[in-house]
Amino acid sequence: MSLRDQLNLDRLWRRRPVVSVLRFEGVIMPRPRRGGLSLASHAAAIEKAFRAPGLVAVAIVVNSPGGSPVQSALLCRRIRQLAEEKRIPVIAFAEDVAASGGYWLALAGDEIFTEETSLIGSIGVISAGFGFYQLLGRLGVERRLHTAGERKSLLDPFMPEDPSDVARLETLQQDIHHAFKEHVRRRRAGKIDEADDSLFSGDVLTGRMAMDRGLVDGIGKLRSVMRARYGDKVRLRPIAADRRRLPFLSRLPFVSREPVSLISELADWLEGRLLWARFGL
Protein backbone atom coordinates (compact mmCIF):
# COMPACT_ATOMS: atom_id res chain seq x y z
CA MET A 1 0.00 0.00 0.00
CA SER A 2 1.37 3.39 -0.97
CA LEU A 3 1.80 6.24 1.51
CA ARG A 4 -1.00 8.16 -0.21
CA ASP A 5 -3.38 5.19 0.09
CA GLN A 6 -2.45 4.82 3.75
CA LEU A 7 -3.13 8.51 4.41
CA ASN A 8 -6.48 8.29 2.64
CA LEU A 9 -7.38 5.22 4.68
CA ASP A 10 -6.39 7.00 7.90
CA ARG A 11 -8.59 9.99 6.99
CA LEU A 12 -11.52 7.72 6.21
CA TRP A 13 -11.01 5.90 9.52
CA ARG A 14 -10.94 9.17 11.44
CA ARG A 15 -14.21 10.32 9.91
CA ARG A 16 -16.01 7.42 11.50
CA PRO A 17 -17.72 8.50 14.74
CA VAL A 18 -15.84 7.09 17.71
CA VAL A 19 -17.28 5.93 21.03
CA SER A 20 -14.75 5.18 23.75
CA VAL A 21 -15.75 2.20 25.88
CA LEU A 22 -14.65 2.02 29.52
CA ARG A 23 -15.26 -1.17 31.50
CA PHE A 24 -15.72 -1.12 35.27
CA GLU A 25 -15.94 -4.72 36.42
CA GLY A 26 -15.33 -5.86 39.98
CA VAL A 27 -15.59 -4.68 43.55
CA ILE A 28 -14.91 -0.98 44.13
CA MET A 29 -12.20 -0.73 46.78
CA PRO A 30 -9.67 1.80 48.06
CA ARG A 31 -6.68 -0.53 48.09
CA PRO A 32 -5.04 -1.80 44.89
CA ARG A 33 -6.15 -5.43 45.18
CA ARG A 34 -6.33 -7.83 42.27
CA GLY A 35 -9.39 -7.05 40.13
CA GLY A 36 -10.51 -4.12 42.30
CA LEU A 37 -11.81 -0.82 40.96
CA SER A 38 -10.62 2.59 42.15
CA LEU A 39 -9.76 6.00 40.77
CA ALA A 40 -6.09 5.00 40.89
CA SER A 41 -6.72 1.93 38.72
CA HIS A 42 -8.83 3.77 36.12
CA ALA A 43 -7.79 7.45 36.13
CA ALA A 44 -5.44 7.10 33.14
CA ALA A 45 -8.02 5.13 31.14
CA ILE A 46 -10.71 7.73 31.84
CA GLU A 47 -8.45 10.54 30.65
CA LYS A 48 -7.53 8.56 27.53
CA ALA A 49 -11.17 7.83 26.73
CA PHE A 50 -11.99 11.53 26.45
CA ARG A 51 -8.98 12.26 24.20
CA ALA A 52 -9.93 9.93 21.33
CA PRO A 53 -10.01 11.58 17.85
CA GLY A 54 -13.48 11.77 16.34
CA LEU A 55 -15.09 11.19 19.72
CA VAL A 56 -18.88 11.51 19.84
CA ALA A 57 -19.58 9.77 23.16
CA VAL A 58 -18.07 7.79 26.01
CA ALA A 59 -19.75 4.55 27.04
CA ILE A 60 -19.17 3.12 30.49
CA VAL A 61 -19.96 -0.54 31.07
CA VAL A 62 -20.60 -1.32 34.74
CA ASN A 63 -20.62 -4.78 36.28
CA SER A 64 -20.09 -4.21 40.00
CA PRO A 65 -21.85 -5.11 43.26
CA GLY A 66 -20.46 -1.95 44.86
CA GLY A 67 -17.85 -1.37 47.52
CA SER A 68 -16.17 1.84 48.64
CA PRO A 69 -18.53 4.86 48.51
CA VAL A 70 -15.54 7.20 48.33
CA GLN A 71 -14.01 5.49 45.29
CA SER A 72 -17.44 5.28 43.64
CA ALA A 73 -17.87 9.03 44.09
CA LEU A 74 -14.34 9.79 42.90
CA LEU A 75 -14.75 7.73 39.72
CA CYS A 76 -18.15 9.26 38.99
CA ARG A 77 -16.88 12.79 39.63
CA ARG A 78 -13.85 12.38 37.36
CA ILE A 79 -16.02 11.13 34.51
CA ARG A 80 -18.51 13.97 34.94
CA GLN A 81 -15.78 16.61 35.11
CA LEU A 82 -14.30 15.49 31.80
CA ALA A 83 -17.73 15.05 30.20
CA GLU A 84 -18.65 18.64 31.02
CA GLU A 85 -15.22 20.00 30.10
CA LYS A 86 -15.17 18.23 26.72
CA ARG A 87 -18.94 18.49 26.18
CA ILE A 88 -19.11 14.78 25.43
CA PRO A 89 -22.18 12.70 26.38
CA VAL A 90 -21.68 9.68 28.62
CA ILE A 91 -23.89 6.61 28.23
CA ALA A 92 -23.83 3.95 30.94
CA PHE A 93 -24.62 0.26 30.42
CA ALA A 94 -25.27 -2.13 33.29
CA GLU A 95 -24.45 -5.80 32.83
CA ASP A 96 -25.12 -8.45 35.50
CA VAL A 97 -25.27 -5.97 38.34
CA ALA A 98 -24.88 -2.24 38.96
CA ALA A 99 -25.79 -2.02 42.61
CA SER A 100 -24.84 0.15 45.55
CA GLY A 101 -21.51 1.77 44.60
CA GLY A 102 -21.89 0.20 41.15
CA TYR A 103 -25.12 2.15 40.63
CA TRP A 104 -23.45 5.28 42.05
CA LEU A 105 -20.83 4.87 39.32
CA ALA A 106 -23.44 4.22 36.61
CA LEU A 107 -24.98 7.59 37.50
CA ALA A 108 -21.99 9.18 35.77
CA GLY A 109 -23.97 8.47 32.59
CA ASP A 110 -26.34 11.04 31.11
CA GLU A 111 -28.41 7.98 30.30
CA ILE A 112 -28.36 4.46 31.73
CA PHE A 113 -29.25 1.31 29.81
CA THR A 114 -29.56 -2.17 31.21
CA GLU A 115 -30.60 -5.72 30.42
CA GLU A 116 -34.05 -6.83 31.52
CA THR A 117 -32.54 -9.25 34.03
CA SER A 118 -29.72 -7.01 35.30
CA LEU A 119 -29.80 -6.19 39.00
CA ILE A 120 -29.97 -2.45 39.67
CA GLY A 121 -30.14 -0.11 42.63
CA SER A 122 -29.46 -1.21 46.20
CA ILE A 123 -29.32 2.47 47.16
CA GLY A 124 -28.13 2.10 50.71
CA VAL A 125 -25.00 1.65 52.80
CA ILE A 126 -23.62 -1.61 54.12
CA SER A 127 -20.62 -2.34 56.26
CA ALA A 128 -19.45 -5.92 56.56
CA GLY A 129 -16.46 -7.42 58.24
CA PHE A 130 -15.10 -10.24 60.35
CA GLY A 131 -13.90 -10.63 63.91
CA PHE A 132 -10.60 -12.45 64.30
CA TYR A 133 -9.71 -11.92 67.94
CA GLN A 134 -10.39 -15.55 68.89
CA LEU A 135 -8.42 -16.82 65.88
CA LEU A 136 -5.44 -14.66 66.82
CA GLY A 137 -5.40 -16.28 70.23
CA ARG A 138 -5.32 -19.74 68.68
CA LEU A 139 -2.43 -18.66 66.47
CA GLY A 140 -0.55 -17.35 69.45
CA VAL A 141 -0.67 -13.75 68.15
CA GLU A 142 -1.26 -10.91 70.60
CA ARG A 143 -3.04 -7.78 69.36
CA ARG A 144 -1.56 -4.52 70.68
CA LEU A 145 -3.37 -1.25 70.06
CA HIS A 146 -2.45 2.13 71.55
CA THR A 147 -4.30 5.36 70.73
CA ALA A 148 -4.21 9.03 71.67
CA GLY A 149 -7.90 9.85 71.72
CA GLU A 150 -10.52 7.53 73.18
CA ARG A 151 -12.46 7.27 69.91
CA LYS A 152 -9.49 6.78 67.60
CA SER A 153 -10.20 3.10 67.04
CA LEU A 154 -13.42 1.91 65.39
CA LEU A 155 -14.49 -1.76 65.20
CA ASP A 156 -11.01 -3.22 65.13
CA PRO A 157 -11.49 -6.70 63.55
CA PHE A 158 -8.85 -8.15 65.88
CA MET A 159 -10.68 -7.09 69.07
CA PRO A 160 -14.17 -7.90 70.46
CA GLU A 161 -17.00 -5.77 69.05
CA ASP A 162 -17.78 -2.66 71.11
CA PRO A 163 -21.47 -1.51 71.17
CA SER A 164 -20.40 2.15 71.25
CA ASP A 165 -18.40 1.56 68.07
CA VAL A 166 -21.49 0.10 66.40
CA ALA A 167 -23.49 3.24 67.31
CA ARG A 168 -20.76 5.45 65.84
CA LEU A 169 -20.73 3.38 62.66
CA GLU A 170 -24.50 3.71 62.27
CA THR A 171 -24.19 7.51 62.46
CA LEU A 172 -21.58 7.48 59.73
CA GLN A 173 -23.71 5.17 57.58
CA GLN A 174 -26.71 7.48 57.84
CA ASP A 175 -24.66 10.43 56.63
CA ILE A 176 -23.22 8.43 53.69
CA HIS A 177 -26.71 7.21 52.83
CA HIS A 178 -27.93 10.81 52.76
CA ALA A 179 -25.14 11.71 50.30
CA PHE A 180 -26.06 8.71 48.13
CA LYS A 181 -29.73 9.71 48.03
CA GLU A 182 -28.86 13.29 47.11
CA HIS A 183 -26.60 12.03 44.32
CA VAL A 184 -29.42 9.88 42.90
CA ARG A 185 -31.94 12.72 43.13
CA ARG A 186 -29.55 15.11 41.40
CA ARG A 187 -28.53 12.78 38.56
CA ARG A 188 -32.04 11.35 38.00
CA ALA A 189 -33.94 14.61 38.49
CA GLY A 190 -37.23 14.56 36.63
CA LYS A 191 -36.98 10.81 36.03
CA ILE A 192 -37.72 9.39 39.49
CA ASP A 193 -40.33 10.15 42.11
CA GLU A 194 -38.07 11.92 44.60
CA ALA A 195 -40.69 11.56 47.34
CA ASP A 196 -40.68 7.78 47.01
CA ASP A 197 -38.46 6.76 49.94
CA SER A 198 -38.77 3.09 48.99
CA LEU A 199 -36.27 3.80 46.20
CA PHE A 200 -33.64 4.36 48.89
CA SER A 201 -34.39 1.34 51.06
CA GLY A 202 -31.41 -0.64 49.78
CA ASP A 203 -33.69 -2.92 47.74
CA VAL A 204 -32.46 -4.27 44.41
CA LEU A 205 -34.53 -4.25 41.21
CA THR A 206 -34.38 -5.99 37.86
CA GLY A 207 -33.61 -3.87 34.84
CA ARG A 208 -37.26 -3.79 33.81
CA MET A 209 -38.39 -2.78 37.30
CA ALA A 210 -35.67 -0.14 37.50
CA MET A 211 -36.79 1.35 34.17
CA ASP A 212 -40.41 1.51 35.34
CA ARG A 213 -39.28 3.49 38.41
CA GLY A 214 -36.92 5.83 36.59
CA LEU A 215 -33.59 4.51 37.84
CA VAL A 216 -32.55 3.66 34.27
CA ASP A 217 -33.59 5.00 30.87
CA GLY A 218 -34.06 1.87 28.83
CA ILE A 219 -33.30 -1.71 27.96
CA GLY A 220 -30.49 -2.06 25.46
CA LYS A 221 -27.05 -3.40 24.59
CA LEU A 222 -24.00 -1.26 24.00
CA ARG A 223 -23.53 -2.11 20.32
CA SER A 224 -27.19 -1.80 19.31
CA VAL A 225 -27.75 1.47 21.18
CA MET A 226 -24.60 3.08 19.78
CA ARG A 227 -25.36 1.95 16.21
CA ALA A 228 -28.92 3.25 16.45
CA ARG A 229 -27.65 6.59 17.74
CA TYR A 230 -24.51 7.17 15.68
CA GLY A 231 -24.98 4.95 12.64
CA ASP A 232 -23.72 1.58 11.48
CA LYS A 233 -20.20 2.90 10.93
CA VAL A 234 -19.70 3.93 14.55
CA ARG A 235 -16.38 2.72 15.90
CA LEU A 236 -16.41 1.30 19.43
CA ARG A 237 -12.97 1.83 20.92
CA PRO A 238 -12.27 -0.16 24.13
CA ILE A 239 -10.02 1.63 26.61
CA ALA A 240 -8.39 -0.79 29.05
CA ALA A 241 -7.33 0.16 32.56
CA ASP A 242 -3.59 -0.22 33.05
CA ARG A 243 -3.16 -2.52 36.04
CA ARG A 244 0.50 -3.18 35.27
CA ARG A 245 1.45 -0.22 37.46
CA LEU A 246 0.66 -2.28 40.53
CA PRO A 247 3.58 -4.30 41.89
CA PHE A 248 3.33 -7.87 40.65
CA LEU A 249 2.98 -9.38 44.12
CA SER A 250 0.19 -6.95 45.06
CA ARG A 251 -1.86 -8.31 42.15
CA LEU A 252 -1.70 -11.83 43.62
CA PRO A 253 -3.99 -13.00 46.44
CA PHE A 254 -2.67 -14.13 49.82
CA VAL A 255 1.03 -13.46 49.24
CA SER A 256 1.84 -12.04 52.66
CA ARG A 257 3.89 -14.13 55.05
CA GLU A 258 2.77 -12.25 58.16
CA PRO A 259 -0.23 -13.90 59.88
CA VAL A 260 -2.10 -10.65 60.57
CA SER A 261 -1.60 -9.34 57.00
CA LEU A 262 -2.58 -12.71 55.55
CA ILE A 263 -5.78 -12.71 57.61
CA SER A 264 -6.53 -9.16 56.45
CA GLU A 265 -6.05 -10.15 52.80
CA LEU A 266 -8.31 -13.15 53.29
CA ALA A 267 -10.96 -10.89 54.85
CA ASP A 268 -10.79 -8.53 51.88
CA TRP A 269 -11.24 -11.44 49.50
CA LEU A 270 -14.15 -12.85 51.48
CA GLU A 271 -15.87 -9.46 51.63
CA GLY A 272 -15.58 -9.16 47.87
CA ARG A 273 -17.02 -12.62 47.36
CA LEU A 274 -19.88 -11.84 49.74
CA LEU A 275 -20.72 -8.67 47.83
CA TRP A 276 -21.09 -10.67 44.63
CA ALA A 277 -22.92 -13.47 46.46
CA ARG A 278 -25.61 -11.04 47.63
CA PHE A 279 -26.77 -10.96 44.01
CA GLY A 280 -26.33 -14.65 43.30
CA LEU A 281 -23.11 -14.11 41.33
Q: Per-residue pLDDT tens for 196-214?
A: 888 888 888 999 999 999 9
Q: How confident is the model at residue 248 (pLDDT cuts 50, 70, 90)?
A: very low
Q: Which of 68, 100, 118, 122 is catalytic?
A: 100
Dihedral Cα 199, 200, 205, 211, nearest 10 deg: 40
- Whether pLDDT at 216 is above 70: yes
**Residue 276 identity:** W
Residue 261: what pLDDT? Answer: 53
Q: What is the pTM of this model?
A: 0.74
More confident residue, 88 or 200: 88
Sign of CA dihedral 182, 184, 186, 190: negative
Q: Which residues pair with 113 in a beta bridge?
A: 93, 218
What span, in angstroms and rounded, lies between the C-alpha atoms of 160 and 82? 45
Residue 249: what pLDDT? Answer: 45
Instruction: List, for residues 134-180, the tens digit of each pLDDT value.
Output: 666 566 666 666 665 565 555 566 666 666 666 665 677 778 888 89
Instruction: List, for residues 8-61, the tens digit of each pLDDT value.
Output: 555 555 579 999 999 999 999 886 555 688 999 999 999 999 999 999 999 999
What span, in angstroms and rounded, lies between the C-alpha atoms of 67 and 99? 9
Mean pLDDT, rounded, of the chain? 80
Asked if the 10-123+194-277 domain carries CATH number 3.90.226.10, the reply is: yes
- Whether pLDDT at 237 is above 70: yes
Domains of the chain, by residue range, sit at 10-123+194-277
Mean pLDDT: which of 13-27, 42-56, 116-130, 251-265 is highest? 42-56
Alpha-carbon distances of 74 from 41, 108, 190, 261, rounded to whole Å: 12, 10, 24, 27
* 256 carries an active-site annotation: no
- Please, which residues have CB within 8 angstroms of residue 186's CB and are 6 or more apart in sequence? none
Lowest mean pLDDT among 31-40, 184-193, 247-256: 247-256
- Whether pLDDT at 240 is above 70: yes
Strands 204-206, 119-121: pairing kind: antiparallel
